[in-house]
Amino acid sequence: MIITLLIVLNYLQVITYFLETIFSLLLLFSAIILIYSIRLINRKLFSPKTRKKSLYFMFGISVILILIFGEEISWGQRIFNWETTRIFTEYNYQNETNIYNFFNPYTEYYYPIVGVGFFTFLFVVWLFPSNRKDYFFNLIFPHPNLFFLLLTMVLFSNVGIGHETFEQLITLFIFFYSLRLIICLKYSNRDLASSKS
C-alpha cells in the first residue's frame, strides 16, 4: 500500500519536493535514533568486545546517514536558498551543491548493482546464518521480516523510472532498521547479550 502510494505520488510530481523533504528528514531521524541507541549499549549486559563493535558500527552508520542527509538537502542550499557555485552549475545535473548529482547518468548502472548486491548479500546471510548465537550478528544484520521491502527495493533499482522510489524505499529500510536496533538495545535479552562474541 505504501509502495503504491509512493509510486503514484512520484509520477504525479505534485509533491515531489515535499516527499524529498520528508524522506531526507527520515534519514536524519534514523541517524538520531542510532546515536541515541549508542547510549543504550549497557556495560553490564554486553561483553567489552560486543560493546566496542556495536559502538563503532552504530557511530559509523550514523555518520554515513548524516552525510547522505547533507547531500539530500544540498548541504543547506535547499533551506537557505544560496546560489550554486560555477562548478556545480556546469557539471552538476541538477545545479545543486551536492556531489551525487554529478553522477546522475550513471544511476541506471549503479542502482541495480547496489540493489541486487545488497539483496543477494542479505538473502545469503538470512538463508545460511552461521552465527545465529552471536549477539552482535543478530543485532547488526537486518531482520528477515524486511525481506519484502528489500525485494521491492531491488525491483525498483532495475527500473529506470523507479529510481526516486528506490531511494525512498532505501530510506524506509534504514528507518525500520534503526527502529529495530533501538528496540533490541532497549529491551535486550540478558541471556543473549551475555553470550560471548
Task: With respect to residue 165, please indicate whether it lies within any of the assigned structural domains.
Answer: yes
- Number of other residues whose CB lies within 10 A of the CB of residue 5: 9
Confidence band (pLDDT; 50, 70, 90) for 196? Answer: very low
Task: With respect to residue 23, please indicate whether it lies within any of the assigned structural domains.
Answer: no
Task: With respect to residue 15, please indicate whether it lies within any of the assigned structural domains.
Answer: no
What would the pLDDT profile of 61-119 be if each residue is shown by its tens digit?
A: 999 999 999 998 888 887 888 888 888 888 888 888 888 888 888 888 888 999 999 99
Averaged confidence pLDDT in the chain: 84
Nearest-Å Rg of the Cα atoms of the chain is 19
Domain that holds residue 103: 2-8+29-40+48-189
Task: With respect to residue 77, please indicate whether it lies within any of the assigned structural domains.
Answer: yes
Task: With respect to residue 197, please indicate whether it lies within any of the assigned structural domains.
Answer: no
The string over 173-183, giving b where at least 16 C-beta atoms fall within 10 Å of a residue's C-beta and e elsewhere, is bbbbbbebbbe
Helix crossing, 163-186 with 16-39: angle to 10°?
A: 20
Q: How many Å apart are CA 17 and CA 10, to the nearest integer?
A: 10
What would the pLDDT profile of 127-145 be if each residue is shown by its tens digit?
A: 887 766 777 788 888 999 9
- Number of other residues whose CB lies within 10 A of the CB of residue 43: 8
Task: With respect to residue 20, please indicate whether it lies within any of the assigned structural domains.
Answer: no
Q: Look up residue 99 and give its three cell numbers.
A: 556531489
Task: With respect to residue 17, please indicate whether it lies within any of the assigned structural domains.
Answer: no
Run of H or E residues at 13 = none
Task: With respect to residue 13, please indicate whether it lies within any of the assigned structural domains.
Answer: no
Domain count, the chain: 1
